[in-house]
Amino acid sequence: MRQYIIRRILISLIVLLGVSIMLYTLIRLMPSDYVDMSTSSSINMTDEMRENIRALYGLDKGIVEGYIDWLGGIFRGDLGMSLMFRRPVVEVIGQYAPVTFTVAFIALVFQVLIAIPLGILAAKKQYSMTDYTIVTLVFIGISLPIFFFAAILKRIFGFYGLNLLPISGMLTARVNYDGFTFAKFLDYAKHLILPITCFVITGCGGLLRYTRTNMLEVLNADYIRTARAKGVPERTVIYSHAFRNTLIPIITIVGSTLPSLFSGAAITEGLFALEGLGNIALRASYMADVPYLMGFNMFIAVLTVAGFLISDILYAAADPRVRLS
């Protein structure tokens, strides 16, 4: 097990190195940079002044030289200085990561709690009205673009005179809280209901389909028919025999879901004006903030690699026949 984990970590480092090269190259090839975006409205700015500012921000270097400098900063724990915030990228990520992580983690928990039981239920009642209803709702959720579904929720709950839920921000404006109180916690929760709902409804369809498909395959296996013929209770057949053999593909897709929630947060956080990593990344892309975009994308890459590594390790816990060596 230890050798397997060490080998996977080394492979992950090589993958991250390749990803960083591609990301840095693509970001630096953007048609404009931060200096152009921030000085476009200044009529007194000359080309020579812009070049001096680029040299000040380190944007005058070529892609190879700039990447080497950025990579050297990584080994020193320095992701660079955000051009938009005038602060270290590490500090910016540390400030806004809790909001994105909270939304993503809660959404992931609800996706698992909803998708897996409904997938098992659909497989148990194959070709029944229950199965058709669940599958129809799944296809609706998968087909809904998250920005379109967010607009629908905002219209229903925020407009038309209902005003049931806040449609933007993290806290109610013009309300001051003395420290972190229970009222402030409820205000946070109320503002996060709609964003989390968007993530859950549009994201749990894939996990539900995987669960249903794998459960159908396992339920038709010979050992399941043998267990039923021996009089094993149906609940034991479903959850102790069948479901355990569907865990490996489910673990795989769950391991890849959390990074996708972080990467997909840019649109949702922007729509609901949440101060999270995704919304900040969207603004940084508008301003061509190279250091922050590199830090954010590498953060997503590390999460992706870590998610698949954890999934591989959990295989052995889900199926004792799996040997990590």
Q: What's the pLDDT at 118?
A: 92
Give burial (CB, 10 Å; 0-12/13-18/19+) of 120: buried
Token pair in block for residue 51: 């070049």
Is residue 44 scored above 80 in pLDDT?
no
Cα within 13 Å of Cα(6), Cβ side:
3
Q: Which CATH architecture has domain 90-318?
A: Orthogonal Bundle (1.10)
* pLDDT at residue 1 tops 70: no
For residue 272, the model assigns a pLDDT of 86
What does the pLDDT read at residue 42?
66
Q: How far apart are CA 253 and CA 322, in angstroms?
A: 18
Banded model confidence at residue 186, pLDDT cuts 50, 70, 90? confident
Average pLDDT in the 91-108 region? 87
Q: How confident is the model at residue 321 (pLDDT cuts 50, 70, 90)?
A: low
Express each pLDDT in 285-313 by its tens digit.
888 888 888 888 888 888 888 888 888 77
Mean pLDDT (whole number) for 225-237: 88
- The tally of CA atoms less than 13 A away on the side-chain side of residue 57 is 23
**What are the boundaries of each domain within the chain?**
2-87, 90-318
Secondary structure class of 82 (helix, strand, coil): strand
Under 8 Å between Cβ of 27 and 324:
no
The partner residues of 82 in beta bridges, in order of sequence, read 87
Helix axes 247-263, 89-124, angle to 10 degrees: 140
Asked if pLDDT for residue 325 goes beyond 60, the answer is no
Q: How far apart are CA 93 and CA 315, in angstroms?
A: 31
Confidence of residue 55 (pLDDT cuts 50, 70, 90): confident
Given pLDDT bands bounded at 50, 70 and 90, which one contains residue 273?
Answer: confident
Cα separation, 38 vs 42, in Å, equals: 9
pLDDT of residue 12: 85
Q: What are the tens digits of pLDDT across the range 193-217? A: 888 888 888 888 888 988 898 899 8
Per-residue pLDDT for 161 more than 60?
no
* Token pair for 171: 């806290």
Question: What are the C-alpha distances in Å from 92 to residues 71, 122, 306?
Answer: 19, 44, 22
Residue for token pair 């250091």 = 291
Each residue of 59-89: pLDDT tens digit? Answer: 777 888 888 888 888 888 888 888 888 888 8
Q: Residues with Cβ < 8 Å from 29, sequence gap 6 or more?
A: 63
- As a whole number, mean pLDDT of residues 5-19 equals 85
d(CA 154, CA 30) in angstroms, rounded, equals 33
* Full-model pTM: 0.80
The DSSP string of 85-127 is TTEEHHHHHHHHHHHHHHHHHHHHHHHHHHHHHHHHHHHHTTT
Handedness of CA 45, 87, 69, 262 (dihedral sign): negative
CA angle in degrees (0–180, nearest 5) for 19-25-26: 90
**Residue 1 in 3-state DSSP?**
coil
Instruction: Specify the pLDDT at position 319.
Output: 66
Q: How far apart are CA 267 and CA 213, in angstroms?
A: 30
Q: Give residue-wise pLDDT tens across range 128-156.
A: 999 999 999 888 888 888 888 888 888 88
- Residue 176 has a pLDDT of 76
For the chain, what is the mean pLDDT?
82
